[in-house]
Amino acid sequence: METNLYAQLAEQLTEQIREGVFQVGDRMPSVRELSRRQAVSISTVTTAYGLLEERGWVESRPKSGYYVRRRHEESLAVPRQIRTMPRPRPATTSQLVMEVQRDVAASKGVSMSAAIPALDFPIVKHVQRTFTQISRTRRLLGIGYDSPEGLPELRQQIARRAVDAGVFVSPEAIITTAGCQNAMALCLRVLTQPGDIVAVESPSYYGLLQMIEAFGLKALEIPANHETGISLEALQLALDKWPIKAILSVSTFSNPLGSTIPDERKQALIDLLERYDIPLVEDDIYGDLYFGERRPRAVKAFDPDGRVLLCSSLSKTIDPQLRVGWVMPGRYFEEVVHRKFINSIAVPSLQQMVAAEVLAQGIYERHLRQARETYRQRYLRLLDLVAEYFPQETRISRPDGGLVAWFELPAKVNTTELYHRGHAESVFIAPGELFSVTGQYRNCFRLNYAQGWTPEREDAIRKLGMWIKEALGR
Ligand SMILES: Cc1ncc(COP(=O)(O)O)c(C=O)c1O
């Protein structure tokens, strides 16, 4: 069987379903018939149907054949973009953020609030073994401080992998950090002074909003579209009106919306940065977790003159416990490395050695392939569960990668109350109010779909649906 033949056939059949040639409930041509019509082998057709089944387009019914399956993408609406652009505001420290974070650390009940990866992949054990092996064979103490830029072997591996995101940098242009949050904080410190305004997409990852508050900055929330990310039209209006010092964006599979700025818009964003002479702090932490054919390029791939400070880490692809991240700060290299020195002098060498070793091996790429497919399947299962248990007005995002989905419920539902209700029954979600400084999104919430669907987890979704219906008086 030629490998590409079945993939081509699966693609053709998908196209026909998309075009409505075969509609929900229709029986697809039988394996035998298709094999004859397309002049391909039976096994090619069976494999193609297997692929369609895996992707949720068809279902097989015993002794009857393949039927077009109802796709929940079509029955569930998507979240809407906010229409107004609020004034810049200081964020307010949220007790709730720390409460959510502590719940995550305690890993009680059914935890769906944090954007953490599934930790049941073989790579986790492999990393654990690498720790043991390195601490046995390498000298870890009595070697003084690591250099402020970080471990050369790790920077080399990061530079090699960056090519996938369309970024060509030398290892010397990279600084290692204690995670992506640390990298973003170093950049923000270098680029701003207290009182400055920074533009962020809205809804926005609460860790960034908290950082903005702690640094005495003001966040200007720019509406984001669930598919294409930050609105460049709104951003341009904001740039005309306010003295914005920097833009912060999770450009690919954003948290919480799951949006990705398309390539042509990435170029347009660079044009804006040039026109208004401002930097972009790009958070690309989810970029490797794509469900599609290719990894989306980073905005930095379009950046000719070092205005983009690209931050990322291994927290979402391996384990947040590693605390291994990095920044490619472009023209701000010296300031950022100095800031790292002020903050912590260096980051621990052991974690960096382990990360360098793991990235250098084929296992990391194999793990990513497995993780992408697993997360895609788990997201599809979430759609099924939501269609079954949630009220029909529920809107849910369509991420093309990453770990989280964003829900918009009817305005009457208060998700902070839903959070407290869940908390009392050990079902944890991240309430919408955390993702804005202006009190928006009180009818929204974020949910992690990356963990395996156990009966307990599925039941948690059923309960959430039930509580939402109760809040709606049903
Ligand atoms: C968009 C985004 N950036 C940064 C972080 C923090 O990353 P790290 O654990 O590497 O510091 C997170 C974690 O949730 C995130 O979602």
Residue 301 included in any domain = yes
For the chain, how many structural domains are there in total? 2
Same domain, 149 and 66: no
CB of 313 closer than 6 angstroms to any ligand 1 atom? yes
Residue 77 included in any domain = no
CB 164 within 8 A of CB 373: no
Residue 434 included in any domain = no
- Name the domain boundary from 332, 361, 390: 361
CB 218 within 8 A of CB 89: yes
pLDDT value of residue 4? 81
Distance, in Å, from the CA atom of 210 to the CA atom of 205, rounded to the nearest integer, reads: 9
Distance, in Å, from the CA atom of 245 to the CA atom of 280, rounded to the nearest integer, reads: 9
Residue 268 included in any domain = yes
Residue 341 neighbours by CB distance under 10 Å: 14
Mutate to test the pocket of ligand 1, among 116, 180, 289 (most ligand atoms within 8 A of CB): 180
Residue 368 included in any domain = no
CB of 320 closer than 6 angstroms to any ligand 1 atom? yes
Q: Find tokens 């983009």 and name the residue.
A: 308
Same domain, 21 and 157: no
Name the residue among 469, 456, 391, 388 with its Cα closest to residue 428. 456
Same domain, 61 and 150: no
- Name the domain boundary from 70, 95, 123: 70
Same domain, 346 and 203: yes
Same domain, 149 and 55: no
Same domain, 61 and 165: no
CB of 443 closer than 6 angstroms to any ligand 1 atom? no
pLDDT value of residue 3? 58
Residue 416 included in any domain = no
pLDDT value of residue 18? 78
Helix (H, G, I), strand (E, B) or coil at 67: strand
Residue 348 included in any domain = yes
Same domain, 195 and 332: yes
Residue 216 sits in a domain whose CATH number is 3.40.640.10
The DSSP line for 256-299 is TT-----HHHHHHHHHHHHHHT--EEEE-TTTT-BSSSSPPPPG
Same domain, 57 and 163: no
Name the residue among 257, 245, 181, 191 with its Cα closest to residue 219. 245
Relative to the CA of 178, which ligand 1 atom is closest?
11
CB 54 within 8 A of CB 14: no
Q: How close is the Cα of 205 to the center of ligand 1, in Å?
A: 8
Residue 410 included in any domain = no
CB of 315 closer than 6 angstroms to any ligand 1 atom? yes
Q: How close is the Cα of 180 to the center of ligand 1, in Å?
A: 6
CB of 205 closer than 6 angstroms to any ligand 1 atom? yes
Same domain, 157 and 270: yes
Same domain, 166 and 65: no
Residue 26 sits in a domain whose CATH number is 1.10.10.10
Domain that holds residue 44: 3-70
Q: What are phi and psi of 86, to 5 degrees?
A: -70, 165
Mutate to test the pocket of ligand 1, among 181, 187, 289, 434 (most ligand atoms within 8 A of CB): 181
The overall longest dimension of the chain from CA atoms, in Å, is: 72
pLDDT value of residue 79? 85
Residues 6+ apart with CB under 8 A from 444: 79, 203, 406, 407, 408, 409, 415, 432, 435
Same domain, 149 and 63: no
Q: Kindly give the parts of the chain with pLDDT less than 50.
A: 1
- Name the domain boundary from 345, 361, 377: 361
Relative to the CA of 116, which ligand 1 atom is closest?
14
Same domain, 154 and 58: no
